[in-house]
Amino acid sequence: MPKANPRHPKFPIPGGPELRAKGWRQEALLRLLENVLSVGEDPDNLIVYAALGKAARSWAAHKGIVKALTEMEEDQTLLIQSGKPIGLVKTHAKAPLVIMANCNIVGQWAEAEVFYELQRKGLICWGGLTAGAWQYIGSQGVIQGTYEIFMRIAERRFGGDLAGRFVLTAGLGGMGGAQPLAGRMAGAAILCVDIDPERARKRQQIGYLQEIAPDLDTALEMIDAAVKDRRALSVGLVGNAAEVYPEIARRGIVPDIVTDQTSAHDLVYGYVPKGMSLDQVRELRDDGQGQLMAASRASIVEHVTAMLDFQKRGSEVFDNGNLIRTQAKEGGVSNAFDIPIFTEAYLRPLFARAIGPFRWMALSGEESDIARIDDLLLELFPDNKIITNWIRLAREHVPFEGLPARIAWLGHGERTMLARRVNALVAGGELKGPVAFSRDHLDAGAMAHPNIMTERMKDGSDAIADWPLIDAMMLCSSMADLVVVHSGGGGYAGYMTSCGVTVIADGTDAADERLDHALTNDTALGVMRYADAGYEEALDEVTKKDVPYIRLD
């Protein structure tokens, strides 16, 4: 039976042994669709995160998807175009159950204004990364990545420890909401600014944020006390980052680390300009888009200028993947890209080995299934310090949202090994239900984004989008259950293309074959992508793990 959802009462958390579909594969995808709404930011409007990332194009489309998933046979494939079901075709039992393409606009037309017009006409929707692919698991989906960034900075600049260090950031939405917990887990005193008091309250209610300060003076006093005591602390402040960052800089305070995860990617539906209330912004979204975009960009100029000021004074400053540097440069900040992107600065050696954000969801709805898989991880990878450290921290600090889920940074071969062992646990009745395996779209072979994932690639291949397209076609050939190709919408229009995948471990031999082929080939392509770009780590991985990369003389 579904569980009550106190956050969104109309959107219960799925679970239980009863099937509404004709098999567990179909039921699993239905539950994942339900789950992204149960943990979404605005499920009444089908919005999961990032201001515009939707689970389906409309409620009529959602109803059609649900109907198809409950009625389809295992030898059929549901086709979805930008969140709308368009056909249920006869394929075969080893074919994907769902193939979708969301928000892919022809290059010369891939601009925000074109997207907004198509959206207004009901012809398109943006699936975000994991929102429209029904793979989002709440803020936990980005907690480990954010934590690993903080720890790489700690190793590089602060002797391996962030105790007694001040982190300044902004944004407490579906993605940014991971920051306060990740910062506290890393040992820092972290101040998180957000314009929306409801977002701050929500993060506090679910345990991601400890304190909400009534004003900037109090917030800085709380941070200063924690820094002096070398005490981990997360503090939220309701305010506009374009005002708060410059004010902190004006006072001569220099945080140790500065970043931002506001919805700067979207100047209409995401970022809120300084001097405007949330209600004023909402009123301008239909008839005042030009005015709103100009005001948002002007505020971002001040926001990023303050970040650059902190950088000059010695702060470790980085872009967390929200296009804020891009918007600032278009607004006249010529040196905005002096701020590095997090992927190149801290995580590329991991991605070059196809180590990235792998995730799994207990379709039973039972937390005990995740606990058993945690134990299995520790059994399988006792010498992997990233994994053993993360599982210990996640068990202690990370609350579940929606379906119980976990994320861990695993690489080539490791993902396959874990998933197949979990499939055996399902077959043996050691788990209370099947498990869905997926990953972030920000993965080694799965994303082309020259301002985030593929910025400053060694061989200059930043903007080549062949890799995620190859990934999607390969995953269809590798029997994955769901395969998706997403491109950017709203302010991300024209900036990215990515591929997503989900495979269900239902305890069958067929599932074992799907997991083996899909997960192995997915990470193999990730290694190949970086080997092709000349990264030594990837070339080493090719040799060590016998990745079938074709080297040319």
Buried b (16+ CB within 10 A) or exposed e, 52-68: bbbbbbeeebbebbbeb
Asked whether the predicted pLDDT for residue 105 surpasses 90, the reply is yes
Pair 469, 485: CB distance under 8 Å: yes
| pLDDT confidence band for 318 (50 / 70 / 90) | very high
Beta strand pairing call for 482-487 and 98-102: parallel
Bridge-partner residues for 89, per DSSP?
77
| Mean pLDDT score, 320-328 | 94
Question: Average pLDDT in the 92-106 region?
Answer: 98
| pLDDT band (50, 70, 90) for residue 50 | confident
Mean pLDDT of the residues in the chain:
96
In this predicted model, what pLDDT tens digit does every residue of 489-534 receive, in sequence order?
A: 998 999 999 999 999 999 999 999 999 999 999 999 999 999 999 9
Band (1; pLDDT cuts 50, 70, 90): confident
- In this prediction, residue 553 has a pLDDT band, given cuts at 50, 70 and 90, of confident
Instruction: Measure CA 310 to chain center.
Output: 27
Q: How many CB atoms lie within 10 A of CB 552?
A: 4
pLDDT at 174: 82
pLDDT of residue 340: 96
Binding residues, by number, are: 174-176, 194, 199, 240-241, 261-265, 271-272, 490
Q: Residue 129 — φ and ψ, nearest 5°?
A: -105, -70
465: pLDDT confidence band, cut at 50, 70 and 90? very high
3-state secondary structure of 353: coil
Report the run of H or E that residue 409 belongs to, with start and end.
strand 405-410
Phi first, then psi, for residue 421 (nearest 5°) are -65, -40
What is the dihedral sign for C-alpha 226, 399, 515, 445?
A: negative
Which pLDDT value is given to residue 159?
94
Confidence (pLDDT) at 256: 98
Which pLDDT does position 338 carry in this prediction? 98
Residue 196: C-alpha distances to residues 117, 203, 205, 263, 278 (Å): 27, 11, 15, 12, 8
Place of tokens 């902004």: 170
| pLDDT tens digits for range 473-493 | 999 999 999 999 999 999 899
Residues at the binding site for NAD(+) are: 174-176, 194, 199, 240-241, 261-265, 271-272, 490
Tens-digit pLDDT profile for residues 438-449: 999 999 999 999
Determine the Cα–Cα distance for residues 365 and 3; give it in Å rounded to an integer.
Answer: 8
Per-residue pLDDT at 6: 87
| 286 CB neighbour count, 10 Å cutoff | 10
pLDDT for 271-310, tens place per residue? 999 999 999 999 999 888 999 999 999 999 999 999 999 9
Q: Kindly state the percentage of the chain with pLDDT values over 70.
A: 100
- Count CB neighbours of 221 within 10 A: 13
Q: Which residues contact 133 (CB under 8 A, 6 or more apart)?
A: 100, 102, 127, 438, 441, 482, 484, 486, 500, 502
What pLDDT was estimated at residue 314? Answer: 97
Q: What is the pLDDT of residues 330-384, one digit of tens each?
A: 999 999 999 999 999 999 999 999 999 999 999 999 999 999 999 999 999 999 9
Q: Which residue has the tokens 């040196």?
A: 335
DSSP-assigned beta bridge partners for residue 360: 406, 437
Buried b (16+ CB within 10 A) or exposed e, 235-269: bbbbbbbbbbbbebbeeeebbbbbbbbbbbbbbbb
Distance CA 139, CA 88 (A): 33
From the candidate CATH numbers 1.10.3720.10, 3.40.50.1470, 3.40.50.10730, 3.90.1170.50, the one assigned to the domain spanning 140-340: 3.40.50.10730
